[in-house]
Amino acid sequence: MTDITRDVLIVGAGAAGLTAANELRKAGLSVAVLEARDRVGGRLWTDDVDGAMLEIGGQWVSPDQQALIDTIAELGLETFSRYREGDSVYVGADGVAKRFTGEMFPVSAATESAIAEITERLDAMVAEIDPDRPWAHPRAEEWDSVSWDAWLRAQTDDDEAVRNLAFATGSAMLTKPTHAFSLLQSLLMAASAGSYSNLVDADFILDKRVVGGLQQVPLLLAERIGDDLYLNSPVRTLEWGDDGVVAHADGGLTVRARQAILAHAPVLYSRISFVPALPRRQHQLHQHLSMGFVIKVHAVYDRPFWREQGLSGTAFSPYELSHEAYDNTNHGDERGTLVGFVSDRNADGVFELSAEERRERILESLSHYYGPEAKDPVVYYESDWGSEEWTRGAYAASFDLGGLHRYGADLRTAVGPIRFACSDMAGAGYQHVDGAIRMGRLVAGQIVESVGS
């Protein structure tokens, strides 16, 4: 049995929790970070799979993600650019792979003009959205009451245009079917990256990676926490009141603290028994958030063979099982790695198959972009975050239709001594590591201020 007392208890050693812990320590407060897993990083995880270094969770950094960029620099980590020389590939409704450069897919002139017009409309709407307060927009209720799919289909009859516009926030970001979330949720996703155009620009949103993997961010942050980090310690019960909190974790660990930060995905709040129970508002709002679902597929080859054909590795198709794929070769690696994504209903579908059939179907889809050689990787791995008990999906949580304007404003509201921080409630950097760091800093700042006053 271990019974310790600290100023602040932090539940979760992901980017958000570890950022908060370091900020609090800098301000002279003592912390205990309790992590359910046997490792730090949460959705950041670099591992060796059959001799290949794979980034199983988050990896890319975009140029607007200043909080993450600053953290990477402060930790002395090096970045490198995603390989992007040569042609991208698009597979349209006819199933034919077409090469293209630039941002516009090689579609008919009519489809291109529909995509361009609606993109302009979306950029104008996104410019009006404050990513920290999307519910404050005068049309928030209206925009939160119509699904992303229904709104797009009301703009044009061109199915290929709708599919291409839809997947930027659908399959590629919120990783839910486009009828399952609202236009407002989609605008928030785009506003968190600065604009809809930024979000669809792979060279922007998937710009850089960290040499050695992005998990080094939480690993290095955790080193600074030292013995105040407790792995294999899922918090099961949290007693709370005016005097603070008492947390009971596995292994007989009890932590007493004046304040607490729950730094994990909101879908996991209900895994903790709160004593007394959380208020009605939190009981309700937490039920309207759910994780998206995407399989990140890693295929490693003896060489980046697609580069020999003048291909960048960047590939898209709203008709393919793997709706997007990229060159994901590690820094300085002779071997070539492709990463593909299988999202929402497609992910449900392939998990109905045996592992062998699933691999075959997914590699078949990649071969439509890169040719038959794509079917024979030397290492193949599927990141399946849906079966991770302490995450339960990927990439992050979002509101159901109508939930954002109804509950969003209370997502970050403290309950007594308990505060909430996670990428899934960020404005800028929403659903990204940058957002996790921003939320960690925000909540740590609030605690320091409250202690000071």
Residue ranges that bind ligand FDA, judged by CB under 6 A? 11-17, 34-37, 42-44, 57-60, 234-235, 263-265, 268, 271-272, 296, 383, 385, 390-391, 394-396, 422-423, 431-434, 436
Q: How far is the CB of 422 from ligand FDA (least distance, A)?
A: 4
CB count within 10 Å of CB 69 equals 17
* Element holding 372 (H helix, E strand): none
- Shortest distance, CB of residue 426 to ligand FDA, whole angstroms? 8
* Identity of the amino acid at 56: I
Supply 409's token pair. 């404003």
Nearer to ligand FDA, 44 or 140 (CB): 44
Minimum CB–partner distance for residue 34 and ligand FDA (Å): 5
Kindly tell me which of 149 and 424 has the beta carbon lying closer to ligand FDA.
424
**How far, in Å, are 15, 21, 261 from residue 218 at the CA level?**
6, 11, 17
Q: How far is the CB of 214 from ligand FDA (least distance, A)?
A: 7
Cβ-proximal residues to 22 (8 Å cutoff; 6+ apart), any chain: 221, 224, 225
CB of 43 or CB of 405, closer to ligand FDA: 43
Contact assessment for residue 33 and residue 21, using Cβ atoms and an 8 Å cutoff: yes
Torsion of CA 208, 212, 214, 219, to 10 degrees: -150
Residue 395 burial (CB count, 10 A): 25
Shortest Å, Cβ 39 to ligand FDA = 8
Query: Least Å distance between CB 350 and ligand FDA?
Result: 15
Q: What angle do CA 108, 312, 320 make, to 5 degrees?
A: 55
Q: Which residues pair with 325 in a beta bridge?
A: 315, 340
The tokens for 328 are: 């994901």
Dig out the tokens for 141 from the structure. Answer: 């209720």
Q: Which is nearer to ligand FDA, 114 or 253 (CB)?
A: 253
Q: Which residue type, as a one-letter code, is found at position 94?
A: D
The distance of closest approach from Cβ of residue 40 to ligand FDA in the complex, given in angstroms and rounded to an integer, is 7
Q: Count Cβ atoms below 10 Å from residue 95 Cβ, excluding itself.
A: 10
Opening angle at CA 107, ends 105 and 113, nearest 5: 90
**Residue 293 and residue 346: Cα distance in Å, rounded?**
10
The span from the CA of 423 to the CA of 230, in Å, is 22
Give 14 or 427: the residue with its C-beta nearer to ligand FDA: 14
Q: From CA 211, how far away is CA 380, in angstroms rounded?
A: 21
Give the nearest distance from C-beta 292 to ligand FDA in angstroms.
Answer: 9
Q: Which is nearer to ligand FDA, 107 or 397 (CB)?
A: 397
* CB nearer to ligand FDA: pick between 115 and 206: 206
Closest approach of Cβ 362 to ligand FDA, in Å?
A: 15
Closest CB to ligand FDA among residues 25, 432? 432
CB count within 10 Å of CB 59 equals 22
Kindly tell me which of 151 and 395 has the beta carbon lying closer to ligand FDA.
395
